[in-house]
Structure 1
Amino acid sequence: MIKRIPNLLIFFIFVTVSQMNAQFIDEFNGKELQYDPDGLNGWTFFSGDGNAEVKFIQKDGYASVRVDASKDKRGLWWALIRRRISEGMDLSLIQKPNYEFRIEAKIKVSSAPKRVNLHLNTQRTTDFHTHLMEYDIPDTSNWHVISMTTKNFDARPGDNVFAQMALMDWGFDKYRVDIDYFKVDIVRVDTIGNDLGEPIPYHPPVPEISSFEHRLPVAEDATIDLEFTDYNFNNWSATDEKGNIVKLLTVSGNQYVILKWNFENYKNMKVTGPAVLELTTYSLQNSPDYKKDFGMIRVVEILDGKDNWLDENITFEALTEGKTISEVFNSQMIIDCEVNKLRGEKNYFVISRPVMQRLLDGKTKGIVIKPLGSVVASFYASENNINVPCIYFNTEK
């Protein structure tokens, strides 16, 4: 007599086998971390675009990415961990509708706020900015679970699919990211739910300015000087072709621009979506000889220092109050951008939603504009009453 296997048991076996063929997970509980320089049968790790030393170690049930960037000069370095995650997976699933990869990790960082990114690629990938998302980690005391689900990922049976996590442009100190677990699943996107954390697109496009509900001009704006630290430069200016005095905000090798707003009317509101900072070009000087990450400007959060400063008397010394630059300004930028060259042209810099929320909440005290490479960029200051620096954002109603 042939016994019939219950349908529920058949379903359970099918689901179990499917999951076994669709998941990679490393909980870092083994005796030692698996290493492989090629990332095929273990973890590989490396850095680039600067002088940052990276190590990847396992201890006490978690792994740590440790970066020493104390010898770096330009702050453009990146460091990543990477390994193949597709061994044993049924990659034919990815070619079916509604199936994608989801990469997930539980992490803690040594410096905050900072961003990390998650990325998936294959041996055929040529655009390494696709299937990549950044995550803003706001504190150093808590573990945070982050995940990214791909969209239209191109994987075929026989491919090697690699997953990676990276730190980028964190600064000039020693840093650490602890990882409790790292996993990748093949999932059905119509049933899996939203990603964890808050995925932020890498180099996001500028939204239409007409899509914003709020436009808020700066309350105070000024140029500070890292050499003449006790001087106020509120009258920094140029004379235009008609003989008019134009007040300027200038970014150069030893000059930063600082901006702050009065968000009193937006207390306890929740920001929705990214924001946009607007500055208007007066002049730009840089060299065309250096194409990559040079002659640009770097938009950064002000995290500490003097609160109630006025542009008419603020100096570098007064703003920093004896603290180091890395204590007052976040050592990781919000975004790096080219400056439009022609006078009167608008420059739009995307500010991520978490940063904009910190501005509204008063956790971030303002924005500082720094040089990236050799550049002299001047923008119209608010005292001109035209082309006033402003920020656009949306809030929940």
Structure 2
Amino acid sequence: MFRKKSLAVFIALFLISGFCSAQFIDDFEKEELEDWLYFTGDGNAEMNFVQEKEGFATIYIDATNDQHNVWYAITKRNVAPYLNLKKLKGPDSELRVEARVRIKNPPKRVNIMVNTQRTTEFHHDLMEFELQDQDWHVISMTTKDLDAVPGDSLFVQFNVTDFGPDKYEVDVDYIKADIINTKKAEPDKGIQIPYHPAIPELSSFSNKAEVAHDALINQEYPELNLNDWHVREKEGVSRVLTVNGNQWAILRWDLENFKDSEAKGAGLLEITTQSVATGGNYVEVYEDQLAEEFPRVRVIEIFGGQEAWEQEEVTYISFMQGKRYQEVFNTQMIYDFKVDKIPGGKNFITISQPVMQRLLNGTTKGLLIKPLGAIDASFYASENTGQTGKMKPKLYFNTVEE
């Protein structure tokens, strides 16, 4: 009798502790999805969110008709009915959202977001995560000073953005949300990529590498080498990298001395504006949210193409080696940025820790710079001397000391 009572107490405690450790959880074991919203935006992508028989859900995305790769696919659920929002009053209380996910076309970033019906700054509780292979990965994000009170709707989102113009599948094994004590909880999981982080002081970096080769490739004139691309300024002729609809800049560095190093935190790309020409009635043509995406310039990883190309010889044909775009470049950009329009203005672009690591070990061969929208943007190239010679593209980064 004693043993039976003890066993009953144990089971009850186990069930209670299990419930407390996951105040909301959807393990996608039901016959169909319940209470999830899903939708796309900022482009021409289409999506579906499907309960699979194997005990997980799949986000199916078709972005083959998307022109600009600024699309997003959102899954969203109100978890407030499962939580005691009064517990968020404490100074050390926050919401943690955790998911177990996998993708089929790594490396790519996904993100978790938390908001309420009153949220106006949607990037406050948003974290991106890089998935580097096709395995299952547990990722989690903890909010910061979450403003949610009893009576609010509290939405958790798992989002897929800007993977490229193709078809994609993202599997979700479970999503759960807990109100936690941040001083007692374990660290968050996964490779976190902060969304648009603040630019640090250059003095915080121990390494600075000037670009070894920078060049232009032009789709419309694929046989041309454009290494002598230049403008005439008051002080004389300056070499520039001009990107527009048909013309892109490619950059590579000599980082052989760092191939066995571990990148410590994010790096920083510096490119200096020579001139910018832009315009367009984007707001009239597109919805307001999509219009905000233009005009910008994109920074993208180079995975393939011609090895060890020389700026004096490279052309679009020689660089691409007969490969398709998606075989040479990561179809998901590192970063989109608004160009500093003032001549001589500095553009600092965050290079996430995983990308910086791939640059150091040579998996990423360099960086592509291309336009997003109708823009002609020129940046100072590496061939300049004198004052403009100080404006060549640079990488700043730190490495883990052995």
Instruction: Check the 8 A contact 1:22/1:90 in 2, yes or no.
Output: no
Which residue does the alignment assign to 1:86? 80
Shift of 1:112: 1.8
| TM-score where L is the length of structure 1 | 0.92
Aligned partner of 2:112 among 118, 124, 132? 118
Cα deviation digits, residues 251-276 of structure 1 (max 9, x gap): 11100000011111112111111111
Which residue does the alignment assign to 1:344? 344
- Give distance in 2, aligned partners of 1:22 and 1:122: 20
Shift of 1:90: 1.2
Instruction: Check the 8 A contact 2:241/2:379 in 1, yes or no.
Output: yes
Please give the residue correspondences for 1:1-397 in structure 2 after superposition, counting only pairs within 5 Å: 16=16, 19-20=19-20, 23-34=23-34, 42-59=35-52, 60-139=54-133, 141-242=134-235, 244-287=236-279, 289-290=281-282, 292-385=292-385, 386=389, 387-397=391-401
Compared with structure 1, are the counterparts of its residues 30 and 19 closer, same or farther at alpha carbon in structure 2 (3 Å cutoff)?
A: closer
- Give distance in 2, aligned partners of 1:164 and 1:287: 34
| Code of the aligned partner of 1:301 | E
| TM-score where L is the length of structure 2 | 0.91
Shift of 1:22: 5.8
The SS at the match of 1:383 is: coil
- Give distance in 1, aligned partners of 2:326 and 2:292: 24
Cα deviation digits, residues 104-125 of structure 1 (max 9, x gap): 1111112221111101111111
Shift of 1:19: 4.2
Shift of 1:15: 9.5
Greater Cα shift, 290-299 or 50-59: 290-299
| Code of the aligned partner of 2:44 | N
Which residue does the alignment assign to 1:39? none
The SS at the match of 1:87 is: helix
- Give distance in 1, aligned partners of 2:162 and 2:346: 26
Moved over 3 A (4+): 12-15, 17-22, 288-291
- Give distance in 1, aligned partners of 2:17 and 2:240: 66
| Code of the aligned partner of 2:131 | I
The SS at the match of 2:319 is: helix
Across the aligned residues of Structure 1 and Structure 2, the Cα RMSD in angstroms comes to 1.9
Instruction: Check the 8 A contact 1:85/1:161 in 2, yes or no.
Output: yes
Shift of 1:17: 6.7
- Give distance in 1, aligned partners of 2:166 and 2:372: 18
Instruction: Check the 8 A contact 2:48/2:59 in 1, yes or no.
Output: yes
Equivalenced residues, count: 381
- Give distance in 1, aligned partners of 2:308 and 2:67: 32
Identity of aligned residues (%): 45
Cα deviation digits, residues 213-247 of structure 1 (max 9, x gap): 100001110011011112111111111124x2211
- Give distance in 2, aligned partners of 1:333 and 1:61: 32
Instruction: Check the 8 A contact 1:78/1:168 in 2, yes or no.
Output: yes
- Give distance in 2, aligned partners of 1:170 and 1:65: 13
Shift of 1:288: 6.1
Instruction: Check the 8 A contact 1:21/1:88 in 2, yes or no.
Output: no
| Code of the aligned partner of 1:199 | Q
What are structure 2's unaligned runs of at least 5 residues? Answer: 283-290
Shift of 1:84: 1.1
Compared with structure 1, are the counterparts of its residues 288 and 212 closer, same or farther at alpha carbon in structure 2 (3 Å cutoff)?
A: farther
Cα deviation digits, residues 152-181 of structure 1 (max 9, x gap): 111112222110011111111111111111
Q: Which has the higher helix share?
A: 2
